[in-house]
Every structure is written in structure tokens, then in C-alpha cells.
């Protein structure tokens, strides 16, 4: 089976390394000649090119470009494809992409491997990135079952655990566990910076240790990624943020009222239920 990968960065390059090591023939496409060259040198792909018609003979194509390039990439590919080709993507937001791409191509299966690192580009690609990770597929009523089955088989072959859900359910769940934490973590750092006494602020910065560092880690990440999350998953993220504001208001009220019994109930409940997430 010949697999095409468009976008040979962290995710595309890592996927290519794994698929090639499982015996697939892998063809890659990227914007840059240099990236194509590196992908060949590290053994991620058999062949690579900057031209999308290079993938005309692929059986399955993974679009691994940044989110805003996924639909334009599919449009570019379409004139070169045979109708049996299965297309999937790895974008971290699903509703807009699945809506657009499944109208353009019948055998389109939305996907999102829940694995990554803070790095980017082909240099960051590594084998076994998806081992043990969840891999969400979001087929719709019109997606041919053979298409989602094929993508599921491949995701399982690279060691991922496949979950199926609707694009909307995916986006809301990811808003809760990925996008909301980034915003909360950023607002924690921002709130500390509102301390008006510079001596106290400096002291707090000196005293900050593992608790603060754990909680603020994702708020100190790449600003462009944070903006992309908010822009592309705006509705679901806002829903989570409004709920979060409600929880915060509840905590403020309980502490203002010195209702320590209620506070302990809330903290006991969060202590017990955290294990369901992590």
C-alpha cells in the first residue's frame, strides 16, 4: 500500500517514520525542497516532492499541514487523485475541517492523533510518537465505512488507541482538556502580574516552585498556537471558559462566606474525580 503524507513536520514526519518502519511505501509532499531532502535522509519517506501531483498514485493520504492549510491542500490534491483514494487529516480541531473536506471528497475521514511535543518541523519528528496515545477519528454519516476502517487499521498499526466520535464532541472534549487549560494557565500568570507591589511580585517570582511551575506550564507556551486554538475552536472554548468562570465565582463566594465545610466538599470532589482524567 502506498501512503502519501502532505506536510512533513513534527506530526507528518513522525507518522512517516512509523509507517515506513511498518513496511508501507511512503511518499511525502512539503512546501520546502530542504524539508523533503531531510525527510528522505532520515528515512521517513521513500520519495518526496514539493508537487502535490506526486501523490496521484497514493492509496491513502494524510494531510499533516497546519490547520488553516488543510482544506486548501485537499483542493490542490483533488485534480490529481483517483476516486478511490482515502484522505484523512491530523488537525487538532475537527468541526470546520470535516464540514469542508467531506463535502469536497467523499472518502474523507477526520482524524486527530493526541500526541505531540513542544517542537516543530521535520527535525522534531521521532519514531513511536503515537505509541499508546489516543487517536480520534470523526467519520460522519456519509463517510464510507471502508475509509474509516482503513485509517483505523493504520492508526492501530502505529500503536495508537482509536476512539470514534463526532467532530463536535471531539472539539468540546478537546476544549476542556487542552484549550481551556492553556487559557487558565495563561490567566494565572497574567493575574500574578497584576500585583502592584513590585517587592511582593519579585518575592513571588523567587518563591515560585513546582506547584506554580506545573500549573503555569501550558500558559507559557507558543502564543501563535494559543491564538489558533481560540480562533479555530472558539465556540467550544468559550463554552468551557464560561463554565470555568462559574466555578471560579463559586469558589470566591464560598471563601468570602468563610464556608469552609462547602470548600472542603468541593476540594474532596475534585480530588476524587481527577483520577478519571489523569
- The full length of the chain comes to 278
Residue nearest to ligand NAP (CB): 9
Give the CA radius of gyration of the chain: 22
Q: Which of 32, 190, 243, 253 binds ligand NAP (CB under 6 A)?
A: 32
Q: Give how far Cα 116 sits from Cα of 190, 193, 260, Å.
A: 26, 30, 40
Site for ligand NAP in 112-141 (CB under 6 A): 112-113, 116, 120-121
Q: Which of 3, 4, 5, 10 binds ligand NAP (CB under 6 A)?
A: 10
Site for ligand NAP in 78-107 (CB under 6 A): 90-92
The b-or-e profile of 166-200 (16+ CB within 10 A means b, else e) is: bbebbbbebbbeebbbbbbbbeeeeeeeeeeeeee
> Helix (H, G, I), strand (E, B), or coil: what is residue 234?
helix
CA 175, CA 229: separation in Å to the nearest integer?
9
Work out how close the CB of 55 gets to ligand NAP at its nearest, in angstroms, rounded to a whole number.
11
Work out how close the CB of 38 gets to ligand NAP at its nearest, in angstroms, rounded to a whole number.
10
Contact at 8 Å (CB) between 59 and 32? no
Work out how close the CB of 60 gets to ligand NAP at its nearest, in angstroms, rounded to a whole number.
17
Work out how close the CB of 190 gets to ligand NAP at its nearest, in angstroms, rounded to a whole number.
24
Which stretch, 65-73, 135-143, 216-224, 244-252, contacts ligand NAP (CB under 6 A)? 65-73
- If one asks whether residue 67 binds ligand NAP (CB under 6 A), the answer comes out as yes
Which stretch, 31-39, 98-106, 176-184, 257-265, contacts ligand NAP (CB under 6 A)? 31-39
Work out how close the CB of 93 gets to ligand NAP at its nearest, in angstroms, rounded to a whole number.
7
- If one asks whether residue 69 binds ligand NAP (CB under 6 A), the answer comes out as yes
Q: Which of 8, 19, 147, 180 binds ligand NAP (CB under 6 A)?
A: 8
- If one asks whether residue 64 binds ligand NAP (CB under 6 A), the answer comes out as yes
Which alpha helices (DSSP H) does the chain contain, by range?
A: 10-21, 33-41, 70-77, 95-104, 145-157, 167-174, 180-192, 198-207, 210-216, 223-232, 234-256, 260-273
End-to-end CA distance of the chain: 37
Number of C-beta neighbours around residue 25 at 10 A: 16
Residues found near ligand NAP in the complex (CB under 6 A): 6-12, 29-32, 35, 64-67, 69, 73, 90-92, 112-113, 116, 120-121
Amino acid at each position: 500500500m502506498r501512503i502519501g503524507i502532505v506536510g512533513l513536520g513534527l506530526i507528518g514526519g513522525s507518522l512517516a517514520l512509523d509507517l515506513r518502519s511498518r513496511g508501507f511505501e511512503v511518499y511525502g509532499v512539503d512546501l520546502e525542497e530542504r524539508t523533503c531532502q531531510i525527510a528522505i535522509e532520515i528515512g521517513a519517506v521513500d520519495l518526496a516532492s514539493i508537487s502535490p501531483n506526486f501523490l496521484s498514485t497514493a492509496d491513502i493520504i494524510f494531510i499533516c499541514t497546519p490547520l488553516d492549510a488543510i482544506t486548501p491542500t485537499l483542493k490542490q490534491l483533488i485534480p490529481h487523485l483517483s476516486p478511490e483514494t482515502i484522505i484523512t487529516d491530523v488537525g487538532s480541531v475537527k468541526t470546520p475541517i470535516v464540514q469542508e473536506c467531506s463535502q469536497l471528497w467523499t472518502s474523507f475521514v477526520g482524524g486527530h492523533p493526541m500526541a505531540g511535543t513542544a517542537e516543530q518541523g521535520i527535525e522534531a519528528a521521532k519514531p513511536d510518537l503515537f505509541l499508546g496515545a489516543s487517536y480520534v477519528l470523526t467519520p460522519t454519516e456519509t463517510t464510507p465505512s471502508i475509509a474509516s476502517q482503513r485509517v483505523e487499521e493504520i492508526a492501530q498499526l502505529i500503536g495508537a488507541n482509536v476512539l470514534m466520535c463526532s467532530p463536535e464532541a471531539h472539539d468540546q472534549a478537546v476544549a476542556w482538556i487542552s484549550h481551556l487549560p492553556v487559557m487558565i494557565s495563561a490567566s494565572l500568570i497574567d493575574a500574578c502580574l497584576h500585583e502592584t507591589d513590585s517587592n511582593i511580585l519579585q518575592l513571588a517570582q523567587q518563591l515560585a516552585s513546582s506547584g506554580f511551575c506545573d500549573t503555569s506550564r501550558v500558559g507559557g507556551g507558543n502564543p501563535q498556537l494559543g491564538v489558533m486554538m481560540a480562533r479555530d475552536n472558539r465556540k467550544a472554548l468559550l463554552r468551557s471558559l464560561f463554565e470555568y468562570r462559574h466555578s471560579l465565582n463559586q469558589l470566591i463566594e464560598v471563601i468570602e462566606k468563610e464556608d469552609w465545610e462547602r470548600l472542603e466538599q468541593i476540594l474532596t470532589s475534585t480530588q476524587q474525580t481527577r483520577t478519571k482524567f489523569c
